[in-house]
Amino acid sequence: MEDKKEQIIQAIISKAWEDVEFRKELLSNPIEAIERLTGVAVVLPEGKELIVVDQTDKSKVYVNIPAEPEIDNIELTEDQLEIIAGGGQMMWKDLTNTLFPALKDCIRI
């Protein structure tokens, strides 16, 4: 099921990169845009809001200040440790897990 969620997130990002109208819709009404594109429900925890920021303008440098990680709960897999040790590049799976964990948790399949 985790792979399916990652595929959904990849589809959202890819569609936003290639379709300006979808990107506009995603910015103005992200939950409806995601649900319409993917056919899956997005259920946010009570008190949470989904905010999408367009960072495709290459003339700007964006800095995202993420929430502080809960270091006590972080465990790296053997594969992640190998990637770090070898200086390897992140794959889509690692990218979505790292940058979009909260969104992945909100997708209901």
pLDDT at res. 94: 62
Contact present, 77 and 38 (Cβ < 8 Å) = no
For residue 22, the surrounding DSSP H or E stretch is helix 20-28
- pTM, two decimal places: 0.62
pLDDT (tens digit, 9 = 90+) per residue, 25-65? 999 999 999 999 999 999 999 999 999 999 988 888 877 77
